Amino acid sequence: MKKLDIIYEDKELIVVNKPTKLLTISDGVTNRTLYSMVSDYVKKQHKQNKIFIVHRLDKDTSGIVVFAKDEKIKHELQNNWNSIANREYIAILDGKLKTKKGVFKDYLIEDKNHLVKVTDKKTDMYSETEYELINYYSNYTVVLINIKTGKKNQIRASFSNIDKPILGDKKYGSCRNNLGRLCLHAYKLTLQFNNKEYVFETKIPQDFNKFILKKGRKVLNGEEVKEIKYKKKKKDKKKKKK
């Protein structure tokens, strides 16, 4: 089991970088989870310490997960999550995406096999997913994703619906698994909380960049890409928490 990768910690929050193939919380069968690892970590500091889940990532998705150290903080965050948390992902798609940017505004349903699908009917699972193409090549596309809602599998279902599933996502139609993992990573989260702006960020996974280098990708302007890079938004001089 990999060592816990802590991005940020204070008296109220602990933010970690979850590896792929690890459950956020137990499914009733698997006990070793991100939650159990973070719980063990805080209890080593003091046996009475507790943590509370604010949100979660799918087992096969890697990236940023926020835990609260107090139940009241947990509820404050959860009750306003979509308005205070800006969640950004990077993904490699199985297929060449033709549009440079766009937004999915989809209604979702979940079938008896727990597969989430896009439907034409209005449901209580409305999802909104923005995307921007940053690299593409013969059979793959690298995109940045910003989700406005936090519905189960919304990214995976929306891209699968246009026949461009996440690379390695067999459940949603990917025929290839070049990296031996789901190629979806929650790399950045900006949080407005307690009158402060917190910006949590991780590095792009090494296996993503190794794959890009191996395939000799080209960016949109035709220049060679040695690794995935993204443009950081220019900011006024504000406090940045890490």
Percent of the chain's residues with pLDDT above 90: 74
Q: Give, in order, the Cα–Cα distances in Å from 131 to each of 47, 63, 86, 134, 139.
A: 43, 17, 13, 10, 18
> ∠228-229-230 over CA atoms, to 5°?
130
What is the predicted pLDDT for the residue at 223? 40
- Lowest-confidence segment of 123-127, 130-134, 162-166, 231-235 by average pLDDT: 231-235
Coil, helix or strand for 167?
coil
List CB contacts of 188: < 8 A, sequence separation 6 or more: 64, 87, 88, 199, 200, 201, 202
Question: Can you name the CATH fold of 85-229+237-242?
Answer: Pseudouridine synthase (3.30.2350)
CA separation for the pair 170, 50 (Å, rounded): 36
What is the predicted pLDDT for the residue at 87? 96
Check: CB of residue 59 under 8 Å from CB of residue 65: no
Q: What is the pLDDT of residues 142-198, one digit of tens each?
A: 999 999 999 999 999 999 999 999 999 999 999 999 899 999 999 999 999 989 999
Half-sphere exposure of 30 toward its Cβ, with a 13 Å CA cutoff? 14
What is the predicted pLDDT for the residue at 212? 73
What is the predicted pLDDT for the residue at 226? 46
Q: Please classify residue 180 by burial: count the beta carbons closer than 10 Å to its beta carbon, then call 0-12 exposed, 13-18 middle and 19+ buried.
A: exposed
- Lowest-confidence segment of 1-15, 36-50, 207-221 by average pLDDT: 207-221
Between 31 and 61, the higher pLDDT residue:
61
- Lowest-confidence segment of 24-28, 125-129, 143-147 by average pLDDT: 24-28
What residues are paired with 11 via a beta bridge? Answer: none
72 membership: H or E segment, kind and range: helix 71-79
Backbone angles phi, psi at 38, to 5 degrees: -70, -40
What is the predicted pLDDT for the residue at 218? 42
User: Where do we find the tokens 């220019």?
Assistant: 234
> Where do the structural domains in the chain lie, given as residue ranges?
1-79, 85-229+237-242
Q: How many CB atoms lie within 10 A of CB 152?
A: 14
Show the tokens assigned to 133: 């193409």
Show the tokens assigned to 74: 């947990």
Show the tokens assigned to 204: 């792009």
- Lowest-confidence segment of 85-94, 119-128, 226-235 by average pLDDT: 226-235
Question: Can you name the CATH fold of 1-79?
Answer: Pseudouridine synthase (3.30.2350)
Q: How many CB atoms lie within 10 A of CB 161?
A: 17
Top-confidence range, 20-29, 86-95, 198-207? 86-95
With a cut of 60, say whether residue 37 has pLDDT above it: yes
Query: Is this structure's pTM higher than 0.75?
Result: yes
Instruction: Give yes or no on whether 1-79 and 85-229+237-242 have one common fold.
Output: yes
Q: How many CB atoms lie within 10 A of CB 58?
A: 19
What is the predicted pLDDT for the residue at 2? 67
Coil, helix or strand for 191?
strand
Between 38 and 205, the higher pLDDT residue:
38
What is the predicted pLDDT for the residue at 27? 82
pLDDT band with cut points at 50, 70 and 90 for residue 137: confident
Q: What is the mean pLDDT of residues 36-47?
A: 94
